[in-house]
Amino acid sequence: MSEYYFDGKGKAFRPIIVALMARACNIHHNNSRHVQASQRTIALIAEMIHTASLVHDDVIDDASSRRGKHTVNKIWGEKKAVLAGDLILSAASIALARIGNTTVISILTQVIEDLVRGEFLQLGSKENENERFAHYLEKTFKKTASLIANSCKAVSVLGCPDPVVHEIAYQYGKNVGIAFQLIDDVLDFTSCSDQMGKPTSADLKLGLATGPVLFACQQGFPGNSWFRGFKKSFGDFWRSPRDDSTLPCMYVYVYIFSLRTKTSS
């Protein structure tokens, strides 16, 4: 069960970004093979934490497909799926402890706390229109970007003694992570399930407002009263993003966060 998603069919986006950050640090420092091996372990840990969160998310969302196949909870049931996710996290924790660097351990344990807090943020919402997008970005950071940001910081701590570099690595990972999730939320509306490898519009069906929904609300479709019950208006909203500037607005935000990755590097 715990090995089910480790079949090479995922994008491996997170470990690739972490490995590239490690390489960038190592270019300027003659780090030992031991340090480089520890950095590769962090990239692996990042993917393990991410995969565990997917297993748990699928239970929470009652999802039936992921990466083009049935979810763990669909095949083995919710109880075993929760335990499988826990087992992946425990394996990641063991690998992290073996690195033997307390600073790195502290950095990466923050990721797990952020994942849980991000899930709680996703379950809540803000009635004030001006607070909704900030709430969405905070949730996006905790559920997605924190893992990339802190993993990049962790490999920089191992590869470089300069705290300024550690902060640069963190900010780079943060902005990459947020931009990545913003694009994913757009693709949730513009792509089909076969392209995404998972059901599309899943968040909307669960009553969770992502960026396209929030922009549509700001543009008056069709007001705050709809926002509080937008699950009932799913069909109307499904047509809306293709007819207004909702998606272009999302792309502007993606561009902004992409520019921030350049200024932080």
Three-state DSSP at 70 gives: strand
- Dihedral angle, C-alpha 86, 152, 10, 97, nearest 10 °: -30
E strands present in the chain:
65-66, 69-70
The DSSP code sequence of 202-231 is: HHHHTT---HHHHHHHHTTSS-HHHHTTGG
User: Distance between CA 62 and CA 57 in Å, rounded?
Assistant: 8
Is 4 contained in some domain? no
The stretch 158-181 carries a mean pLDDT of 96
Is 256 contained in some domain? yes
CA dihedral sign, ordered 46, 132, 209, 217:
negative
Total domains, the chain: 1
CATH number, domain at 183? Answer: 1.10.600.10
Is 2 contained in some domain? no
Residue 192: per-residue pLDDT: 65
* 198-214 tens-digit pLDDT: 666 666 666 677 777 77
Those residues whose C-beta lies under 8 Å from the C-beta of residue 211, and which sit 6 or more positions away, are 133, 136, 182, 185, 186, 250, 253
Q: What is the mean pLDDT of the chain?
A: 83
Q: Which pTM does this prediction carry? A: 0.83
* 223-252 tens-digit pLDDT: 444 445 544 444 454 445 444 555 666 666
User: Distance between CA 240 and CA 253 in Å, rounded?
Assistant: 19
The stretch 177-182 carries a mean pLDDT of 92
Is 6 contained in some domain? no
Residue 253: per-residue pLDDT: 67
- For 113, the domain range is 13-264
